[in-house]
Chains A and B, each alone.
Chain A
Amino acid sequence: ETGVTQTPRHLVMGMTNKKSLKCEQHLGHNAMYWYKQSAKKPLELMFVYNFKEQTENNSVPSRFSPECPNSSHLFLHLHTLQPEDSALYLCASSQDATRGYGYTFGSGTRLTVV
């Protein structure tokens, strides 16, 4: 257990479904992140929240919608996804969103879009 919990661990969804990924941390961190990990590609930063405010959105399609109700919880809402969105989605947290802090990652949600 790393201190960052992601649920569900695995998710299979159709292209017309709506689902949500959940991330929770009780490390007292103030920054949370969503990353996409695809095979043989570098991790792609999707969203950054610092003190509950979104500070980064790296040109992510609108079919991905993040939500950060408080510093401990982060959601990724999914709708009308494409098969190429199948990947491992990793949540991470850090003390705050400055480069001096390393990330604590969750175990990820393995998403398959059919």
Chain B
Amino acid sequence: AQSVTQPDIHITVSEGASLELRCNYSYGATPYLFWYVQSPGQGLQLLLKYFSGDTLVQGIKGFEAEFKRSQSSFNLRKPSVHWSDAAEYFCAVAPEGNQFYFGTGTSLTVIP
């Protein structure tokens, strides 16, 4: 069965520090891959997506993600975190058809 794993439930980083959020998926072929962010009381906003081609994908708000086929991973990164980045981050995969599978999310806290 397809699955998405976000191993870190909660991460705390200092403002200005770099960030990496992990995402691993279980699927035979390369699925379409997405990262979403959810601020408190809000719905999910698409940060970036990967379909094919260059394995380093640029998104909004200064985020990027790298697809590594050998590790079945799609980790999200940001070089310098801002206090406004505090939110919940969800990785999602779409193996085929119209079914999306979401991870359980990683909660990010940013300290001054």
Please report A residues at the B interface, Cβ cutoff 8 Å: 2, 4, 6, 31, 40-43, 45, 48, 50, 55-56, 90, 92, 97-100, 102-108
Contact = CB atoms under 8 A, between A and B. Distances in A.
A100 B94 CA distance: 8
Contact of A42 (B41, B49, B97, B101): B101
B43 A105 contact: yes
Contact of A99 (B43, B90, B98, B102): B98
Contacts of B98: 31, 48, 50, 55-56, 97-99
A42 B43 CA distance: 14
B71 interface: no
Nearest to B42: A107
Nearest to A105: B43
A50 B97 CA distance: 12
Contact of B102 (A43, A56, A108): A43
Contacts of A102: 34, 46, 49
Interface in B1-41: 4, 9, 31-32, 34, 36, 41
Chain A to chain B: the 8 pairs with minimum beta-carbon distance, closest first: A105-B43, A99-B94, A97-B98, A43-B102, A105-B44, A102-B46, A42-B102, A107-B43
Interface in B64-112: 90, 94-104
B43 A41 contact: no
20 contacts: A2-B43, A40-B9, A42-B4, A42-B103, A43-B90, A50-B98, A56-B99, A90-B43, A90-B44, A98-B97, A99-B31, A99-B32, A99-B94, A99-B97, A99-B98, A100-B51, A102-B46, A103-B100, A107-B43, A108-B42
